[in-house]
Amino acid sequence: MSEILVSGYTIRSGSTRDRSLLVKFMNRTYRELYPDQDFSHLANTVEQYFSPLTPLWWVEISGGKNITPIACLWMGNAINQVTGDRISHVFLVYVHPEHRLQGIGAALMNYGEKWTKTRGDRQISLQVFTNNKPALSLYEKLGYQPQSLGLVKQL
């Protein structure tokens, strides 16, 4: 069953049968930032974390003959390491470049917030790369604030 997400676009629930499409969308988002990397390991990420407990939603063009998704939101679970509370976690939010700046990303994040509230969680976490300026800007506009800083060291 699908519903209007924003004008011209509908959202529908995905299922665990969508593993290969989810991997494809994960590859897209990472390749935009790191085009020369090999992301074959993302299939393992999906295999390990994608389940009926980690919902996936697809966005499609309303009334279009081609029902290929142009965006998605994959949510899951995490534990707030300070309080010990279960929290919702955004594993992936992706909007195809041709459909950006139309409110789809913000609408997906709002959709995720509604899901979070219905299950009784009071917090959402996500990870974003520091060089992904458009995503950082979106999350800041939606009220997300840094809580921790991830550090890496190349060896």
* CATH, residue 134: 3.40.630.30
The span from the CA of 51 to the CA of 106, in Å, is 24
Backbone dihedral angles phi then psi of residue 111, each to the nearest 5 degrees: -60, -45
Q: Is residue 70 in some structural domain? A: yes
Is residue 151 one of the residues assigned to a domain?
no
pTM of the model: 0.92
The per-residue pLDDT for 154 is 85
Please report whether residue 56 resides in a domain.
yes
What are 25's two structure tokens?
């969308």
Quick: pLDDT tens for 48-105: 999 999 999 999 998 767 778 999 999 999 999 999 999 999 999 999 999 999 999 9
Buried b (16+ CB within 10 A) or exposed e, 133-145: eebeebbeeeebe
Span 3-32, pLDDT tens digits: 888 899 999 999 999 999 999 999 999 999
Is 152 part of a structural domain of the chain? no
**72: β partners:** 58, 94
Residue 83: which domain range?
2-141
Count the domains in the chain: 1
Which helix or strand (DSSP H or E) is residue 78 part of? strand 71-79
SS3 69: coil
45, part of any domain: yes
Residue 97 falls within a domain, yes or no? yes
Assigned domain for 155 exists: no
89 within some domain: yes
